Amino acid sequence: MHTPDEALTLRDPQALLAQTLRDWPAGSDLWVFGYASLIWRPEFAADETRGAAVHGWHRALRMRSRINRGTPERPGLVFALVAGGSCRGVVYRIARSRAERELERLWLREMPTGVYDPRWLPCRTPAGPVRALAFTLDRASPSHTGVIPDGEMLEILRHARGRYGSTLDYLLETAACLRERGIRDREIERLERLARRIAAAR
């Protein structure tokens, strides 16, 4: 059973998949933009991986998670791409011959309730521009939290846990993988310092 605000976010995932397939650039391989867990746990085999940047969108820990990193009673948080700014991450290329099958698997992971707004975004890479599928979140979505005060953030990081683990572990894993790839994200670094206060108290 879904909570009232969660129910508002529900859209038909298959209809969104069909629209995404219609908008897929004709004749091209599938490119997917990863900005958080898709970097450290993509769960698909890519034919090519590149560092990439998108403009007009930024990574933000402002999407409620009631299953993966929290519960309906104590929601956690996951990252989403939100309008404004820019974001460095990774793009993956999947050959067209198997891309539709891989996309269906990715959809089951990222879009079971249709909460994201899938978009084809222009990405800059060292080898030239590509158009990649990215999972964005509208600020008007009930799943978008807006700015979270540090006190509230600390409570979420201390207590929120879902089927894939805690929001705290998710944040620290993302921070570590970005650091390994030489990607600076000042807000994640600030949140990591905040999170270390919890880890030190354990």
> pLDDT tens across 155-176, in order?
999 999 999 999 999 999 999 9
Letter for the amino acid at 108? L
Domains of the chain (ranges; CATH) run: 4-201 (3.10.490.10)
Is the pLDDT assigned to residue 9 strictly greater than 60? no
Percentages (nearest 5) of helix, strand, coil residues in the chain:
40, 30, 30
Is the pLDDT assigned to residue 6 strictly greater than 60? no
> pLDDT tens across 96-119, in order?
999 999 999 999 889 888 889 999
Alpha-carbon distance of 55 to 71, in angstroms, equals: 32
pTM summary value: 0.89
DSSP-assigned letter for residue 156: H
